[in-house]
Amino acid sequence: MKKMIVRASALAMAGLLLCQTPVLADGVEQPYLSLGADLNKEERATVLRLLGVDEAELDNYQVVKITNADEHDYLDNYLSASVIGTRALSSVLIEKTEEGSGINVTTKNITYCTEGMYENALTTAGIADADVVVAGPFNITGTAALVGAMTAYEDMTGEEITEESKDAATNELVITSDLASSLDDSEKAEQFLALVKEEVVSSDINSAEDITQVVEDCENKLQIELTEEQRQQIAELMEKISNLDLNVSELREQASDIYNKLSELDLDTKGIWETIKDFFAKILNFFGIGQEPAPEASTETGAGAEGQPEASTESDGEAGSEVSTESGEEDQPEASTESDGEAGSETSTEAVNE
């Protein structure tokens, strides 16, 4: 019985150790290596070299493998089977970095997806503070590498990425790549998706109609023109993203390279809803709606004092003050001289402005 208890305790302890994030002897978290399951020996050697990993030192890495079936699970809704292919070749090295350092991506032999596209998609997936290197044994699209990056990040941190987040991130990567091809400008495509996402998240916009308006607003800001199909695809993607509870500050921090470039473009930083509110506020101000009514200066200025000369009611400014002072009438209350002075002038001015 005692032996059984000891054995059970040992198994429980082993399970706890397996659940923890692996660390090296010096306390540094082990980097994760996600390898395409279909790499042959030569391709594997090429990928490891591009990732800067020595085969003899693989014990220093946590290694996971991504299969072609894994790739199809996430990509079939967005890419044709011919694009996804039948072999899992994309490989990813991911290392956790200090808090606030953001996501930094480097690509090797990746032709379809740019570094900025990966950064955008990884922030949507909720990944934070990591150095990521994506490599292929030769020129490949790299769309499947995102699956490997998300899987490795989950294993490395112990943080589960929801299926909704994975789907939105994959959807975003494909849409951005397609838009880059359409515009013949990958940087503009990255910036556009980042800008739309920022405005949707910061203003908590979630209806299809409102999101479409944001997409059109961002088209104008970046001076691009989408097809109706592209506009609809991006709006549907943003509906997914609006339900992920993302934080706009974290988006800007994690994909800082993209958002820093956006800030350098000197765009109107106001979202469309702030612009609309400002527009209607100006209209309301013009018609005096919603403002406090102006004080009835004319009634008070007359002072209601018996014997007050009519001249004093003709001017509430400094001239009126002089008339009242010179009259010297003993029955004039002191209040009338005060109301006809500078204070009376201010009251009259406010009434005109309003």
Residue 112 pLDDT grade (very low, low, confident, very high; cuts 50, 70, 90):
confident
Half-sphere exposure of 172 (CA within 13 A, CB side): 31
Q: What pLDDT does residue 280 have?
A: 52
Neighbour order of strands in the sheet with 32-36: 62-66, 32-36, 91-96, 130-140, 103-110
Residue 317 pLDDT grade (very low, low, confident, very high; cuts 50, 70, 90):
very low
Query: Per-residue pLDDT averaged across 152-163, rounded?
Result: 92
Query: Per-residue pLDDT averaged across 118-143, rounded?
Result: 95
Residue 176 pLDDT grade (very low, low, confident, very high; cuts 50, 70, 90):
very high
- Cross-strand bridge partners of residue 23: 29
Q: What pLDDT does residue 303 have?
A: 43
Query: Per-residue pLDDT averaged across 16-38, rounded?
Result: 62
Q: What pLDDT does residue 302 have?
A: 43
Quote the distance between the C-alpha of residue 6 and its chain's center.
51
Joined together, the tokens standing for residue 299 give: 């009634």
Residue 144 pLDDT grade (very low, low, confident, very high; cuts 50, 70, 90):
confident
Determine the 3-state secondary structure of 280 from DSSP. helix
Determine the 3-state secondary structure of 309 from DSSP. coil
Q: What pLDDT does residue 266 have?
A: 74
Check if the beta carbon of residue 91 is closer than 8 Å to that of residue 51: yes
Checking if the pLDDT of 198 tops 60, the result is yes
Checking if the pLDDT of 320 tops 80, the result is no
Highest mean pLDDT (candidates 10-14, 256-260, 266-270) = 256-260
- Cross-strand bridge partners of residue 95: 131
DSSP string, 70-111: HHHHHHTTTS-HHHH-SS---EEEEEE--TT--EEEEEEEE-
Q: How do residues 278-315 score in pLDDT, each as one tens digit?
A: 545 556 565 666 555 545 544 444 444 444 444 444 44
Residue 3 pLDDT grade (very low, low, confident, very high; cuts 50, 70, 90):
very low
Checking if the pLDDT of 332 tops 60, the result is no
Residue 143 pLDDT grade (very low, low, confident, very high; cuts 50, 70, 90):
confident
Query: Per-residue pLDDT averaged across 219-224, rounded?
Result: 95
Check if the beta carbon of residue 136 is closer than 8 Å to that of residue 110: yes
Helices (H), ranges, the chain: 2-19, 41-51, 68-75, 81-84, 115-124, 145-157, 163-183, 186-202, 208-222, 228-242, 248-254, 256-264, 272-287, 297-301, 311-314, 318-327, 334-339, 342-353
* Mean pLDDT of all residues belonging to the chain: 78
Residue 12 pLDDT grade (very low, low, confident, very high; cuts 50, 70, 90):
very low
Determine the 3-state secondary structure of 33 from DSSP. strand
Pairing of strands 130-140, 103-110: parallel
Q: Spell 290-325 as b/e; 16+ CB within 10 A means b.
A: eeeeeeebeebbbbeeeebeeebeebbbeebbeebe
Determine the 3-state secondary structure of 188 from DSSP. helix
CA distance 157 to 227: 40
Least confident residue range of 64-68, 124-128, 286-290, 338-342:
338-342
Residue 17 pLDDT grade (very low, low, confident, very high; cuts 50, 70, 90):
very low
Check if the beta carbon of residue 166 is closer than 8 Å to that of residue 149: no
Query: Per-residue pLDDT averaged across 326-349, rounded?
Result: 42
Amino acid symbol at 186: S
Of 88, 89, 92, 50, nearest in space to 69 by CA: 88
Query: Per-residue pLDDT averaged across 54-71, rounded?
Result: 93
Q: How do residues 229-242 score in pLDDT, each as one tens digit?
A: 999 999 999 999 99
Residue 150 pLDDT grade (very low, low, confident, very high; cuts 50, 70, 90):
very high
Please give the model's pTM, rounded to 2 decimal places.
0.69
Checking if the pLDDT of 269 tops 70, the result is no
Q: What pLDDT does residue 268 have?
A: 61
